[in-house]
Chains A and B, each alone.
Chain A
Amino acid sequence: MIQVKEITKIFKDPQRKEFRAVDGISFECRPGEIFGLLGPNGAGKTTTLRMLSTLLTPSSGTAVINGFDIRHEPDRVRASIGFLSSTTGLYPRLTPREILVFFGRLNGYSADRARQRAEELIDVHGIREFAQVRCEKLSSGMKQKVSIARATVTDPPVLIFDEPTVGLDVLAAAQTLKAVQDHRLKGKCILYSTHIMSEAEKLCDRIAIIHQGRIAAIGSLDALRNQTGHRYLEDIFISLIDGSINGSPL
């Protein structure tokens, strides 16, 4: 469902000549799978996700999402994905219902169909109680529920989550993780970026550890344990990052 092939993003910088935010990353993510991108801040996770969502154009390499190339068919790629970031991306002066109808209409639904779909999502995500309240008055947990509903308005086959639990309290974070797991059960292909080890450990079927724009290791948690000899993901992560800093082959 997601095939990333040697994707690279270079930002031009007159002082450092060029800055490789992402440097030849390749991975695959299948339907019904949560694929984790784990890395420290500035590792290149957000840039990778921005390229996959066609917000940025890769300097080289490409990716195919739901059968569409991000370089040649960006419109179709965007129609195939639901994108969610930590900022929630909700319009503060609109209500959750208005936002859901708006994104339904943007994705080509008729007015009636968009309203019908909004009501479905309001029920599914338990947001009826505050569906008529402007988003600026909602708590962060409520906002994140609305954001997840917004990302799935068109029921896309691919979901991309960029650190969705940053800034949430424990309860709201747990509800978000539950929602992500529910979508896996529905057969969605989920790309999940985080720097929180426990989340990746609990949620992800396979993990790519990313550092300085490159993949340090890739595989299931068990495979990473075997590779590094460490039990916990935090230890695995540190040993791999230390290895790349000390010059060991990635």
Chain B
Amino acid sequence: MNLRHIRLDQIGVIIRKELLETIRESKILLTGVILPLVIYPLLIFGISTFQNFQAEKLKHREYRVGIDGNREELDVFLKDSTNRFSFLETDNVYGMLHEQAADFGIEILTGRHANTLEFWLIFSGSDEDSMLGQNALAELMTKHRSDWIRGELVRLGIPESATSPVTITARDLSTPETRSGFSLGKIIPFLLIMILVGGCSYTAIDLIAGEKERGCFETLLVSSVKREEVIFGKFSIVFIAGIVSVILNLFSMYITMKLGLFRPADTTVESGFRIEPGTILLVFVCLLPIAVLFSALLIQFATRAKSYQHGQIMLLPFSLGAILPCLVAFMPGLHSDSFLIAVPVANAVIVIKEIMEGSFHLPAFLLTNIANLFYSMVFLRMAVRALGEEESLVRVVQDGVSRFEMRRDPVRTGLIGFSIIWLMMYFVMAPFQAHMPVTGLLVTLWGLMLFSAWMLPRLLELPLRPTLRLNPPRLLSLLALVFALPGTMFAAMVIIRIQEMIMPMPEVFSEAFRDLLVDNNLPLWLSLFVFAVSPGICEELLFRGALMGGFATRVSMHRAVWLSAVCFALMHFSVFRLAPTLVIGLILGYVAMLSRSLFPAMILHAVYNGVMIQSGEALAERFSIGMATAGAIIFLFVSLLMLRWDYRNRSDRHEVSDRVA
């Protein structure tokens, strides 16, 4: 990308044209302008009014109550409040509820204890009417019980304080504004991010995928305008569309709050909540880098889409991906001083939530926006690169099917295959392993993984042996393992220590892990076979063999290693093991790639697992983080040098190709 030769006037011409087209598109107007403006009025006059109406209706709802016992005993507690309940006398409350002849029932038990009465409220927890009815009755009875006790105490001449010698009073220092901010802070970031996604997404799809379908994109690219100018012009409009949506949304929120009309369903929120213009401005600033990030990502999606419809299909995972980080707003105990500061979108959601709650932290605010700006620049660069891909440019619908679609892409097929394996692991193998840990693990490794390692190359029509790198290892590659093993162990120690500082593994997880791997009462040979040798063989055949071998036929060596390492990390189903397994996956990937054989990676994996299971904790205690870091760097560097030397100087380098195809 050469930014020096970009002509701003040309970008301006494109922006003006795109703007004109965009404002003439009804779908974009609907999602980008109308929805952001009407969402709060809708909440007020729509949902909250309806909920208030429902609540009012419920207050006067009459419930049918089956009663078993002396009705007069109950009247003492209900006095004249019985008009909401119609009592149906019965000697079988349970049968009555079962036949749905009553919403709930009461059994009155007398004489079990001296001078006491006992009421049993019988209801169904899965029936809303039953729940609400028994709640309403219990509330009434509790109130009248207090009055009755007070009356009895007066009658007996006992002071009221005798029943409550200790008084506990909670004093809430929050104001109505901060309480409202606390409640709204959860939902507003979510709404804002969704409004931003809506504003950006349809514009991006229409401006690129839509133009491809209409044949206009090619016309634009063969004019004398530069591709960078096209991408910046289109990017600007997507960004503007997103920001306009957000501004309209914030404006709508401000007006709604200023008028004091907000009546949210959440009863803890004060209706007279006000929002300050300064708060609106800070929230807006947090959303700016997110808008750049989303616009750049959507431009990439749209560039790779073949048609408008294809682009819309691609939007679904994007929207789901955008929702996920928003959920942190609903999680208790998460603040901007945690690791979340490095997670794009999630960091902004947390900071916006804190701003809404009235707790603004300048360092977190700055760090969040700097981090998001950095991510957005990376994505923007990737978007420009995507427009340079010839396949993306000519990827258009031809007679219903594009020529490129007809070919089986090894990366796409590999990732789809991995997703299927992952789902099978999650829904079938994980419950199996939870029930029968050792058998389940062996079936997973020798059944599912081995079958997948055999099946994937067949699906891709690739030769099995070279794809899986089942070549005999060379002596130097094996010697390199002498250094790679301690290097891998030290690297894992460092990553685990860093992770413990940021996001420590809960004790319950580490104990379960220790129970499975160490305190399992298995003979040593069986333990090593199950947890070291079997993963060493089966996981390597799948991840460094079938998946990495398949990826390497289409993408570069480094990308293939990284992709397979990410798959390897995700397969371990634990956010706490994600970073260590990713690093180990990378090391194993480079060992397999540079040695041109899967066997050194298998040996390294098996020995690493064996040593860590048997004496991992003892080793970790022996080395400080500084020593471990130095050890990781030195040992991995030496092994890398040996592997590279072997890779470059082998005589059969042309026979055993990196790329199978």
Give A residues with C-beta under 8 Å from B. 13-15, 17, 50, 53-57, 75, 78-79, 81, 83, 85, 87-94, 98, 102-103, 105-108, 134, 150, 154
Contact sample, A vs B, 17 pairs, CB 8 Å cutoff: A53-B222, A55-B222, A56-B394, A57-B390, A75-B226, A83-B222, A87-B215, A89-B215, A90-B214, A90-B216, A91-B17, A93-B25, A102-B13, A102-B17, A106-B10, A106-B14, A107-B224
B218 CB contact (under 8 Å) in A85, A94, A108: A85
Shortest distance from the beta carbon of A212 to any chain B beta carbon, whole Å: 15
Complex interface: chain B residues within 8 A of A108 (CB):
224
With contact pairs A87-B214, A87-B215, A89-B218 given, residues A75 and B224 touching in the complex (Cβ less than 8 Å): yes
As a 0/1 sequence over residues 1 to 43 of chain B, the CB contacts with chain A under 8 angstroms (1 = contact) are: 0000000001001100100110011000000000000000000
Please give 10 more A-B residue pairs, beta carbons under 8 A apart, in addition to A14-B408, A108-B224, A154-B224: A54-B222, A55-B393, A56-B394, A75-B224, A78-B223, A87-B218, A93-B24, A106-B223, A106-B224, A107-B223
Complex interface: chain A residues within 8 A of B21 (CB):
91, 93-94
Is the Cβ of B224 less than 8 Å from the Cβ of A91? no
- With the chains together, A117 CA to B465 CA distance in Å? 65
Is the Cβ of B390 less than 8 Å from the Cβ of A14? no
B261 contacts chain A at the CB level, 8 A cutoff: no
B225 contacts chain A at the CB level, 8 A cutoff: yes
Is the Cβ of B553 less than 8 Å from the Cβ of A91? no
Complex interface: chain A residues within 8 A of B216 (CB):
89-91
B394 CB contact (under 8 Å) in A55, A87, A90, A91: A55
With contact pairs A14-B407, A14-B410 given, residues A83 and B20 touching in the complex (Cβ less than 8 Å): no
Is the Cβ of A78 less than 8 Å from the Cβ of B24? no
With contact pairs A15-B408, A91-B216 given, residues A81 and B226 touching in the complex (Cβ less than 8 Å): no
- With the chains together, A103 CA to B225 CA distance in Å? 10
Shortest distance from the beta carbon of A179 to any chain B beta carbon, whole Å: 17
- With the chains together, A83 CA to B215 CA distance in Å? 12
- With the chains together, A106 CA to B461 CA distance in Å? 47
Number of A-B contacts (CB under 8 A): 82
CB-nearest residue of chain A relative to B410?
A: A14
CB-nearest residue of chain A relative to B404?
A: A11
Shortest distance from the beta carbon of A69 to any chain B beta carbon, whole Å: 16
Is the Cβ of A14 less than 8 Å from the Cβ of B553? yes
B221 contacts chain A at the CB level, 8 A cutoff: yes
With contact pairs A54-B222, A83-B219, A106-B225 given, residues A17 and B661 touching in the complex (Cβ less than 8 Å): yes
CB-nearest residue of chain B relative to A16?
A: B407
Complex interface: chain B residues within 8 A of A14 (CB):
407-408, 410, 460, 462, 553-554, 661
Complex interface: chain B residues within 8 A of A17 (CB):
661
As a 0/1 sequence over residues 627 to 661 of chain B, the CB contacts with chain A under 8 angstroms (1 = contact) are: 00000000000000000000000000000000001
- With the chains together, A32 CA to B386 CA distance in Å? 39
- With the chains together, A64 CA to B331 CA distance in Å? 63
- With the chains together, A15 CA to B215 CA distance in Å? 29
- With the chains together, A83 CA to B25 CA distance in Å? 27
Complex interface: chain B residues within 8 A of A79 (CB):
224
With contact pairs A55-B394, A91-B21 given, residues A15 and B219 touching in the complex (Cβ less than 8 Å): no
Complex interface: chain A residues within 8 A of B13 (CB):
102, 105-106
- With the chains together, A79 CA to B224 CA distance in Å? 5
Interface pairs A-B: 7 shortest CB-CB: A87-B215, A89-B219, A79-B224, A93-B24, A53-B222, A83-B222, A105-B13
Is the Cβ of B407 less than 8 Å from the Cβ of A15? yes
Shortest distance from the beta carbon of A163 to any chain B beta carbon, whole Å: 12
Chain B contributes a number of interface residues (CB within 8 A of A) equal to: 33
B221 CB contact (under 8 Å) in A55, A57, A92, A150: A55
Complex interface: chain B residues within 8 A of A90 (CB):
214, 216
As a 0/1 sequence over residues 222 to 235 of chain B, the CB contacts with chain A under 8 angstroms (1 = contact) are: 11111000000000
Which among B214, B222, B410, B661 has the highest number of chain A CB atoms within 10 Å? B222
- With the chains together, A94 CA to B17 CA distance in Å? 9
- With the chains together, A17 CA to B461 CA distance in Å? 12
CB-nearest residue of chain A relative to B399?
A: A41
Complex interface: chain A residues within 8 A of B24 (CB):
93, 134
- With the chains together, A56 CA to B226 CA distance in Å? 14
- With the chains together, A56 CA to B89 CA distance in Å? 86
Shortest distance from the beta carbon of A155 to any chain B beta carbon, whole Å: 13
Shortest distance from the beta carbon of A198 to any chain B beta carbon, whole Å: 23
Complex interface: chain B residues within 8 A of A75 (CB):
224, 226
- With the chains together, A88 CA to B220 CA distance in Å? 12
- With the chains together, A79 CA to B226 CA distance in Å? 11
B195-245 with Cβ < 8 A to chain A: 211, 214-216, 218-226
- With the chains together, A154 CA to B224 CA distance in Å? 10
Shortest distance from the beta carbon of A186 to any chain B beta carbon, whole Å: 20
- With the chains together, A78 CA to B227 CA distance in Å? 12
Shortest distance from the beta carbon of B412 to any chain A beta carbon, whole Å: 12
Complex interface: chain A residues within 8 A of B390 (CB):
55-57
Complex interface: chain B residues within 8 A of A89 (CB):
214-216, 218-220
- With the chains together, A98 CA to B16 CA distance in Å? 11
With contact pairs A78-B222, A79-B224 given, residues A85 and B215 touching in the complex (Cβ less than 8 Å): yes
- With the chains together, A15 CA to B406 CA distance in Å? 11
Shortest distance from the beta carbon of B435 to any chain A beta carbon, whole Å: 41
- With the chains together, A78 CA to B17 CA distance in Å? 20
B20 CB contact (under 8 Å) in A78, A98, A105: A98
Shortest distance from the beta carbon of B390 to any chain A beta carbon, whole Å: 5
CB-nearest residue of chain B relative to A21?
A: B403
Complex interface: chain B residues within 8 A of A55 (CB):
218, 221-222, 390, 393-394
- With the chains together, A14 CA to B413 CA distance in Å? 12
- With the chains together, A90 CA to B220 CA distance in Å? 10
Complex interface: chain A residues within 8 A of B220 (CB):
89, 106
Complex interface: chain A residues within 8 A of B218 (CB):
55, 85, 87, 89
Shortest distance from the beta carbon of A100 to any chain B beta carbon, whole Å: 12
Shortest distance from the beta carbon of B17 to any chain A beta carbon, whole Å: 5
- With the chains together, A122 CA to B226 CA distance in Å? 27
- With the chains together, A78 CA to B224 CA distance in Å? 5
Complex interface: chain B residues within 8 A of A106 (CB):
10, 13-14, 220, 223-225
- With the chains together, A57 CA to B214 CA distance in Å? 23
Complex interface: chain A residues within 8 A of B407 (CB):
13-15
Complex interface: chain A residues within 8 A of B215 (CB):
85, 87-89
Complex interface: chain A residues within 8 A of B211 (CB):
91
- With the chains together, A150 CA to B17 CA distance in Å? 15
Complex interface: chain B residues within 8 A of A93 (CB):
20-21, 24-25
